[in-house]
Amino acid sequence: MPEYRPAGRFLGLDEAHSAPSAAAWVLPIAYEMTTSYSGGTKNGALAILDASAQVELYDSAVGCEAALRYGVHTLPILHPTLESPAAAMADITAAVSALPIAEKVLVTLGGEHALTPAVVRALAAHHPDLIVVQIDAHADLRDSFDGTPHSHACAMRRCLDYAPVIGLGIRSLCQEEVDFARSSERVTLIAAEQMHTDSQRRYLDQLRERLKGRSIYLTIDVDGLDPSVISATGTPEPGGLSWYDCLTLIEAICSSGQVIAFDCVELAPAYGAQASAFAAAKLVYKTLNQVMRARGALPR
């Protein structure tokens, strides 16, 4: 059975702006079971919530103190069962399915990346046109890893049971994943190197075309960004997205289709300075503002 424990409010908002009537709901999940290199993602959600209280509410990209207009309700931290990875996934899917969020934007804070398919599973049931957009260093397309199909290294492979996947910023994968991605029509990978060398950013046009009119689940693995931006993560990889490249990418995603939910995963606060947690918190807020602007909740 999942257990909930109290947490602080995202952005340190006051009671009036964090009531359940808010347009965005934040679900922190303290899940870590299959980490393969450095651990610590269990505390990622808490670190993002703590750091978020220091983020300025004014976002220059939308020109206002955005959260005060739409409101953000923060749920207590979900601790799924650690009986087995499969049981943890079932817990998370059940918890998300039980949330009354049909008209809201769900923001999930992890936790390890393995939790993403469990959330997608719950949401895909109500969004048959759902597409998953992944920002990540790793393809996460292995069919099984360390003896479980529910490893963080299999996160996108499991998402494919519910929706097609577009991976961005990818720069670490094995032969099995390369072969699988080439053979599957449901997977599109846009490599970090391709993005880096495409000075005209043509990949954004390709992305906009694919996302037009669709419901989107965006999953942000913090290792998609360069370690110079976020180093506190279990498996950091050189050559990642810059802060501004990432913001441009997210703006393009949010303005192309309708982002119904997104997550931010794999922050391992023990392995870096506060800068990483703060960057993750600010990225979550700025992403939420783009989602809300696309929904008409903020001025253009």
Q: Tell me which residues touch Mn ion (CB under 5 A).
A: 136-138, 221, 223
Q: How far is CA 236 from the centre of its chain?
A: 16
Which residue is at the shortest CB distance from Mn ion? 138
In the complex, what is the shortest distance from the CB of residue 234 to Mn ion, in angstroms, rounded to a whole number?
8
Q: Is residue 200 exposed (0-12), middle (13-18) or buried (19+ Cβ within 10 Å)?
A: exposed
Q: Measured at the alpha carbon of residue 8, what is the angle toward residues 151 and 95, in degrees to the nearest 5? A: 45
257 CB contacts (<8 Å, ≥6 apart)?
A: 131, 211, 212, 213, 214, 215, 216
Nearer to Mn ion, 250 or 294 (CB): 250
Nearer to Mn ion, 234 or 257 (CB): 234
In the complex, what is the shortest distance from the CB of residue 177 to Mn ion, in angstroms, rounded to a whole number?
12
In the complex, what is the shortest distance from the CB of residue 93 to Mn ion, in angstroms, rounded to a whole number?
21
Nearer to Mn ion, 223 or 263 (CB): 223
In the complex, what is the shortest distance from the CB of residue 135 to Mn ion, in angstroms, rounded to a whole number?
9
Nearer to Mn ion, 59 or 140 (CB): 140
Nearer to Mn ion, 123 or 268 (CB): 268
**Rounded CA separation 291/260 (Å):** 8
In the complex, what is the shortest distance from the CB of residue 237 to Mn ion, in angstroms, rounded to a whole number?
8
In the complex, what is the shortest distance from the CB of residue 152 to Mn ion, in angstroms, rounded to a whole number?
7
In the complex, what is the shortest distance from the CB of residue 226 to Mn ion, in angstroms, rounded to a whole number?
13
Nearer to Mn ion, 221 or 251 (CB): 221
Nearer to Mn ion, 24 or 166 (CB): 166
In the complex, what is the shortest distance from the CB of residue 1 to Mn ion, in angstroms, rounded to a whole number?
29
Nearer to Mn ion, 59 or 226 (CB): 226
